[in-house]
Structure 1
Amino acid sequence: MKKQFPFVSALIALIAASYFLVPLYATFQFSLQMIRGKWSFAAYQSVFSNDQFLATLSYSAVVSLMAIIVGALVVVPTAYWVRLRLPKIRPIVEFISLMPLIIPPVVLVFGYIRLFGSDSWLPMTISEQGTNTLLVIGYVVLSLPYMYRAVDNGMAVIDIATLTEAAESLGASRLRTVAQVIFPNVRSAIMSGAFLTFSISLGEFVLASLLNRPAFGPFMVQLGQDRAYEPAAIAILSFGLTWVCMALMQLFGSRKPGQRWLPRFTQPSSRSATP
């Protein structure tokens, strides 16, 4: 019997897709109308020729990469230890990891300024390096729900107890087990969380603005107040960059965790020296 085409499902999918694609097309069309009477990429050329665009984009990219590294170094050992030794407190850790979704970023950044301002016991905002560090910490906190969920789901499909016992039986320390066994086996999960972190941090506005950092988010807002067509071009570029991150996340996420080999740890030879 020939299977009928699912018209209702296709219609619902088409309506849902048009909800996103029609405004996107309208924004793209508007970005091409900078020169009156014809379509051109003049708005995109104006954006790329702006020195502040490249400076803010590179700054946000570096800060986002730092947030990814710090987030992975914090989340992976935490999720590993909770699953291996402290399963009873896992609901508490999951609740804490969801707190950034509840607390607004403006409250978070004002708390940072209050705790680490010029009058505090650890004045980090008085120096540029300290403020950059605060911004990285803020991005790590904002991306914590996504990074922790990705890593925790990755560890759920591998037998970390067996991997730990095998590594320890070969003479590996706990730190080496995490670095050379657990990290490679949840690499795809870490990459998924990394791309989500990058997408969130790249266009973030509140933290970067209130900490007075030259990030990409405040630049987009300022450009939207001063220009007409360039903000639409940046919106399309940001959307494309986000979709590239999502595609890469799908690419790395399609790889099954646990396909890495267990490293060979050096053991003392049991054979006696040749006389």
Structure 2
Amino acid sequence: MKSSSVLSWVILALAAIYFFVPLFATLEFAMRQLPDSGFTFMFLGRKHSFDAFVTSIVSPDFQLAFLRSALLAIASIVGGILLVVPTVYLIRLKLPQWRSPVEFVTLLPLVIPAIIIVFGYTRLWIVPSWSPFKTGLATDVLLAVGYVTLALPYMYRSVDTGMRAIDIKTLTEAAQSLGASGFTILFRVILPNVRSAVLGGAFVTFAIVIGEYTFASLLGREVFGTYLQRIGANEAYEPSALALIAFAITWACMGLIQFVGRAPGARPAR
């Protein structure tokens, strides 16, 4: 048992080194940018500063791109929840024979490359002369629909796992006996009991949208992913700072998953 414990700690240490050393190197490189005037400090025998982080955050282009990505992420999360939760509920309650076909369909975004999906969207909804998706706002709507598609495998399996852990039939019958409508049953009885699963899929969706590049690039919209690529092609230190910012946002989302999942009332009803 002692040797097994030592081996576990060795594996953990190696994994931590493999994980944190690249992050540390990226951070150290990002801090090499020195301001013309401002706060600097000595680190590893040379001057460093946080000028790359400050410059990146205060940039209007960054703020606009990140705000658009955040709004698209929220729209994609809402759309994914409205699509997946009723679907999984009906399949588990009344249509179990449709489970395998629906699971197959939800796996397609993992098999079909994103560039093919967005090319199909472009040919179908933007190229035709009658298309209503030629304005910026309409293109954002189409982009959000595309993000719902990309996140569908993760959202569906997260919600499906959550509903598998509760007795949907008993909860539905109990709510119906009290005169609840179908809408009330779904959004006031079932949804609160799979809150952790839904939030898990929601934060994964958020992380996907924040880092996505292909859809936004081919649809001609400036989001965080395209902004990061553009800055990376023209600047030296800011891309490293932005990469760390995006990494911190992703891990913050994962931390929220753990926090919400352990919050009081997050446990499914039986």
Is 1:60 paired with 2:59?
A: no
Tell me which residue corresponds to 1:156.
164
| CA displacement at 1:125 relative to structure 2 | 2.9
Number of corresponding residues: 258
CA RMSD after TM alignment: 1.7
1: distance between equivalents of 2:262 and 2:105? 28
2: distance between equivalents of 1:193 and 1:124? 30
**Which of 210, 223, 240 pairs up with 2:231?**
223
2: distance between equivalents of 1:218 and 1:124? 24
**Which of 100, 106, 114 pairs up with 1:105?**
114
Tell me which residue corresponds to 1:27.
26
**Which of 208, 222, 231 pairs up with 2:216?**
208
Is 1:95 paired with 2:94?
A: no
Q: Closer, same or farther in 2 for the Cα pair 1:120/1:78, shift >3 Å?
A: farther
Q: Closer, same or farther in 2 for the Cα pair 1:257/1:151, shift >3 Å?
A: farther
2: distance between equivalents of 1:164 and 1:120? 47
SS at match of 1:119: coil
| CA displacement at 1:56 relative to structure 2 | 0.5
The one-letter code sitting in structure 2 at the alignment partner of 1:60 is S
Instruction: Say if 1:106 and 1:207, in contact at 8 Å, map to a contact too.
Output: yes
Tell me which residue corresponds to 2:38.
none
1: distance between equivalents of 2:203 and 2:194? 15
Gaps of 5+ in 1: 261-275
Instruction: Say if 1:118 and 1:125, in contact at 8 Å, map to a contact too.
Output: no
The one-letter code sitting in structure 1 at the alignment partner of 2:125 is F
SS at match of 1:94: helix
Tell me which residue corresponds to 2:154.
146
| CA displacement at 1:185 relative to structure 2 | 1.1
Is 1:9 paired with 2:8?
A: yes
1: distance between equivalents of 2:127 and 2:114? 21
TM-score (norm 2): 0.91
Runs of 4+ deviating beyond 4 Å: 2-5
2: distance between equivalents of 1:147 and 1:235? 25
2: distance between equivalents of 1:135 and 1:29? 35
Bigger CA radius of gyration: 1
Tell me which residue corresponds to 2:51.
42
2: distance between equivalents of 1:41 and 1:127? 39
2: distance between equivalents of 1:245 and 1:48? 19
1: distance between equivalents of 2:127 and 2:223? 22
SS at match of 2:34: coil
The one-letter code sitting in structure 2 at the alignment partner of 1:14 is A
SS at match of 1:234: helix
Q: Percent identity?
A: 46
Instruction: Say if 1:157 and 1:257, in contact at 8 Å, map to a contact too.
Output: no
SS at match of 2:268: coil
Gaps of 5+ in 2: 36-45
Instruction: Say if 1:32 and 1:43, in contact at 8 Å, map to a contact too.
Output: yes
What per-residue deviation string (whole Å, max 9, x for no partner) do you get for residues 102-159 of structure 1?
Answer: 11110010000011024166x1331222211110001101111111111111101110
Tell me which residue corresponds to 1:85.
94
2: distance between equivalents of 1:27 and 1:226? 17
Instruction: Say if 1:158 and 1:257, in contact at 8 Å, map to a contact too.
Output: no
The one-letter code sitting in structure 2 at the alignment partner of 1:92 is P
SS at match of 1:34: coil
1: distance between equivalents of 2:101 and 2:261? 26
The one-letter code sitting in structure 2 at the alignment partner of 1:61 is A
TM-score (norm 1): 0.89
**Which of 169, 179, 202 pairs up with 2:177?**
169
